[in-house]
Each structure stands twice: as C-alpha cells, then as structure tokens.
Amino acid sequence: MTRNLGFWDVLFERIFSVSNQKRIEKVTLWLSISGFIVHLLLIYSKKFHWVQTPFEARLLDDPISAIYTPFSIILVYEIYLLIVYLPRSFTTAVSKQFEIISLILIRRVFGDIPNVDLNVNWFENMENLQLIYDLTGIVLLYFLIYLFNRDRQKLPHKEIDERLHRFVQSKRMVSVVLLPILILTAVFSIWMWVSALFNPQVAIPDINAVFYNEFFTILILADVFILLLSFQYTERYSQLIRNTGFVICTILIRLSFATTGLINILLIISSVLFGLMILKIYQAMEKNLLD
C-alpha cells in the first residue's frame, strides 16, 4: 500500500539518506585517522619539549592515549546512527545506546592505562582499580549486549499499518529536531571544557563526561516524548511497560556519569541487564498472546 510522505518524512529522508550516511561514514574514517596522527604529534611534541601546555594534559603523557581521539570521533558517528535508528523501534534505539556506552567505556580504558602505577600495591591504587573495573565492565557489557541483540532479532516484524505509520512519522520528527539540538549542545560543551582548561579558577570537567552528561539528558527527554506519543498508537500493556523500561535504562546510564569507580560500572551494567530482562519478559508476554 502506497502512502503519502509527510513533511517530516521527506525532511528525514533528505537529511538521513543512505548517500549522506556513507559520506558521514567516510568523513568519520578520515577524521579518526587524522585525529590519531595529530594526537601522536602533540604527545611527542610535549615529550621532547617542543610545546608547553598551560594546563595539566594527562592525555599527552603516553602514546597509548592517542587512541582516545579516534574513539571520540567514532562515538560522534555512533550518536548520529542512534538518531537515524530512533524512528525504527524502541528496541533498536536502546540497543544502539548500549553500544554507545560500551564504546565510551572502552575509550576510557585508553585514558586509564597510562595512569596505571606498577610500583605500588595494585589493589591500593584507585587508578589501578579503575582499570580493573572498566575491563571487567567491558566484558560483561559485551556479553549482555550480545544477548540483548540476539533476543531483539527474534522479535516478529510487524506489518506497518496506518496507525504505526503515523507513529513512525512522529519519531522521524523527533530525530530531525534532535540533530541540531545535539550539534549545538556538543559545540557548547566542548567550548566550555576548552575554556575551563585555560581558566585556573574554574574546575575542569571530567573529559570522559564532556557532552555525554547533556547528551543522555536530552535523550531521556526525547525517549519520554516518544513514550508519550506511543500512548496514542498502542494500548497493549506489554508494549507500554517495555517502552517505559527502556526509558529507565537510559536514566540509569545518565546516572552513571555522576558517579565514579565501581558504582559507575554497576549502574551501566544494571542498565543493560534491566533492558535485557524487560525484553525477555516482553517476549514471553507476546508469546502467550499468540498461543
């Protein structure tokens, strides 16, 4: 059945077209390579005292830290993909959120490794312990995300009727509006972080949380907005609870940025574990309805 494309459909297709996605993917690749090389040059420039930084720059102390930059650029691309996938389904969008937080954790490891002190008791040094927490968290997250995606692929593909089509249109509107908001937020967050570096009277924010605090806050608001829209198109208890549960997953991820150490990892893992349990219960309820 052919449907007329609305204003938001046309705008979404133009902004997030396959050709644009391929262009952004190619740009991401080249920026990642360039960023890695520039970061390495800065590290060795500091090592040989060719440049002096007026602030503490721990990411310029070890060549391993240079991997931090390409991962940061790849994360920007993953956020772009999240916005692209947002209209597809709650399950697909939350899966991409889990992948993003796992990449943030992996990126943090490359910042942790240069800070490891091998000359002290390993379990008495907080930075050494943080590396253990992060590595353990990555393995657990990787496994839980695998389970989540495996179960997600078992969900039946539904035929898009007129009601579902209107819901998808609403979510496409959210994606189109979300893109410029996130771009402006990213620029503002980076500007504030750079300004703090050169202002000794201002506390320097944790670089691992720069932008992502605001990103997940905005994402929670977008998820809640989509959740409210979903009430117009479905009255099924199982779907409403599933969608609400996935919003809670995003909230738990956002809370993790306000913590450090073991609590930070536990909140992230609990988010993915909670999402996995919600998905499994939803599948069981849907199966009972079909039987």
83-110 tens-digit pLDDT: 999 888 889 999 999 999 999 999 888 8
- Say what the pLDDT of residue 2 is: 47
Q: How far apart (Å, rounded) are the C-alpha atoms in residues 112 and 61?
A: 12
The mean per-residue pLDDT over the stretch 237-241 comes to 85
Instruction: Tell me the pLDDT band of 176, cut-offs 50, 70 and 90.
Output: very high
Question: For residue 28, what are the CA distances in angstroms to 18, 23, 31, 97, 188?
Answer: 15, 9, 5, 19, 21
pTM to 2 decimal places: 0.87
Asked if pLDDT for residue 196 goes beyond 80, the answer is no
Cα pseudo-dihedral 134, 135, 136, 139, rounded to 10: 120
Please give the distance of CA 181 from its chain centroid, rounded to a whole number: 16
**Per-domain residue ranges for the chain?**
7-290
Q: For the segment 7-34, what is each residue's pLDDT rounded down to a tens digit?
A: 788 889 888 988 999 999 999 999 999 9
Instruction: Tell me the pLDDT band of 158, cut-offs 50, 70 and 90.
Output: low
